[in-house]
């Protein structure tokens, strides 16, 4: 029945064409069409229902309050028990992805990346690979022994979410020579299980060790806060919302606008900001100068402008670079506090001549 209605509505009304410039008139027309009189054939085994499945669903819900309250209750209980707290930022979010689902997606993306870039990976003895791995080793050590600046508590950020720790010898660092490939795309990412990828064309933007540490700690931040799991937890909810919007409006456009353009983007911006924050704190803990972070994002902004609007992949779903710089400058005193408390600011001489 749903299928039949769906096909009729799509072909007869062509909602997307009718939407243009009509607004209320279209909605009225659509409502009339949904409630239009239908002929019932005698001796016909097929059932022609007067109302749409949506209104029948509500009618059923009204007639069976026990079922309704039960379902809503179980669903709410499920959601409430699956809310957890992100490390470092202590943000509450919905997490309902099993570890094996995440592992599956991680393996898939690793296979994809290897199929595409496998031939362009720099050898592990290459100076750039060495540099990336030495920075990552420091960042990983800092995340293993992170000290919360407000509570003073020391935690292993890898195990905060109840996930299994990744031992240092299990990490793999790959530098992809995208310049040799002929299509430079300055980017970096860390995937579950401890696999780090960095594109060589990102190095001139990073400029120095602190810039590189900013990028790598941001990506590590995504892993530590398990943003893959969060994204996978949200997708069934967003999908359901899309279907509800489709059944109300009879068009995929409003759902697209609400779910993809507003909700999805705001979620991904939130995750990006969180990765920035975690990254900044972890890099400061690892004795990388936090003032390198705003410098890197300014370079990134400059690169964006040079490209004339074509946004590099690393920043495409990210908050605007101006907003990001503002955030980072706001967190700077906290980051500097961590950096100085570690004793990082003292160079060797001042240490000996104290």
Selection from 167, 177, 179, 229 nearest residue 198 by Cα: 177
d(CA 214, CA 313): 16
The smaller minimum CB distance to Zn ion, of residues 93 and 245, is found at 93
CB 279 → Zn ion: shortest distance, Å?
9
CB 328 → Zn ion: shortest distance, Å?
13
CB 275 → Zn ion: shortest distance, Å?
5
CB 294 within 8 A of CB 328: yes
Q: Pairing between strand 92-94 and 83-85?
A: antiparallel
CB 93 → Zn ion: shortest distance, Å?
16
d(CA 293, CA 314): 15
The smaller minimum CB distance to Zn ion, of residues 6 and 267, is found at 267
Selection from 58, 74, 164, 185 nearest residue 120 by Cα: 185
Contacts of 32 (CB under 8 A, 6+ apart): none
CB 311 → Zn ion: shortest distance, Å?
13
CB 298 → Zn ion: shortest distance, Å?
17
The smaller minimum CB distance to Zn ion, of residues 30 and 315, is found at 315
229-to-83, 98, 105, 234 alpha-carbon distances in Å: 12, 8, 10, 9
219 is catalytic: yes
The smaller minimum CB distance to Zn ion, of residues 196 and 245, is found at 196
d(CA 244, CA 246): 5
The smaller minimum CB distance to Zn ion, of residues 30 and 278, is found at 278
61-to-26, 44, 71, 339 alpha-carbon distances in Å: 28, 29, 10, 58
The smaller minimum CB distance to Zn ion, of residues 250 and 319, is found at 319
Task: Give me the DSSP letters along 6-63.
Answer: HHHHHHHH-HHHHHTTTTHHHHHHHHHHHT------TT--S---SS-HHHHHHHHHHH
Q: Under the rule (CB under 5 A), what is the footprint of Zn ion?
A: 272, 275
Number of Cβ atoms within 10 Å of the Cβ of 276: 22
Q: Of 219, 230, 272, 274, which one is the catalytic site residue?
A: 219
Which residues are designated catalytic? Answer: 219
């Amino acid at each position: 029945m749903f299928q039949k209605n769906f096909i009729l509505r799509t072909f007869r009304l062509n909602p997307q064409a009718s939407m243009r410039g009509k607004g209320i008139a279209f909605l009225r027309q659509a409502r009339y069409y949904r409630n239009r009189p239908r002929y019932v054939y005698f001796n016909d085994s097929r059932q022609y229902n007067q109302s749409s499945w949506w209104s029948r669903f509500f009618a059923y819900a009204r007639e069976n309050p026990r079922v309704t309250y039960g379902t809503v209750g179980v669903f709410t209980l499920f959601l409430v028990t699956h809310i957890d707290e992100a490390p470092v930022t202590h943000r509450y979010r919905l997490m309902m992805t099993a570890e094996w689902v995440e592992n599956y997606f991680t393996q898939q993306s690793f296979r994809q990346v290897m199929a595409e870039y496998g031939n362009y990976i720099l050898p592990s003895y290459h100076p750039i690979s060495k540099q990336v791995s030495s920075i990552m080793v420091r960042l990983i050590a800092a995340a293993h022994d992170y000290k919360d600046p407000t509570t003073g508590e020391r935690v292993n950020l890898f195990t905060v979410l109840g996930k299994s720790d990744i031992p240092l010898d299990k990490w793999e660092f790959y530098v992809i020579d995208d310049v040799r490939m002929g299509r430079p795309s300055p980017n970096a990412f860390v995937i579950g299980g401890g696999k780090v990828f960095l594109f060589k064309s990102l190095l001139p933007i990073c400029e120095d060790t602190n810039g590189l540490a900013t990028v790598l700690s941001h990506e590590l931040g995504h892993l530590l806060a398990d943003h893959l799991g969060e994204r996978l937890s949200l997708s069934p909810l967003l999908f359901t919302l899309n279907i509800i919007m489709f059944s109300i409006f009879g068009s995929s456009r409003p759902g697209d606008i609400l779910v993809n353009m507003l909700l999805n983007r705001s979620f991904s911006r939130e995750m990006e900001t969180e990765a920035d924050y975690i990254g900044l704190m972890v890099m400061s803990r690892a004795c990388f100068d936090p003032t390198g972070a705003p410098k890197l994002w300014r370079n990134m902004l400059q690169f964006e402008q040079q490209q004339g609007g074509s946004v590099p992949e690393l920043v495409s779903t990210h908050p605007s670079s101006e907003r990001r710089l503002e955030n980072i400058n706001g967190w700077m005193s906290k980051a500097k506090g961590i950096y100085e408390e570690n004793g990082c600011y003292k160079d060797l001489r001042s240490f000996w001549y104290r």
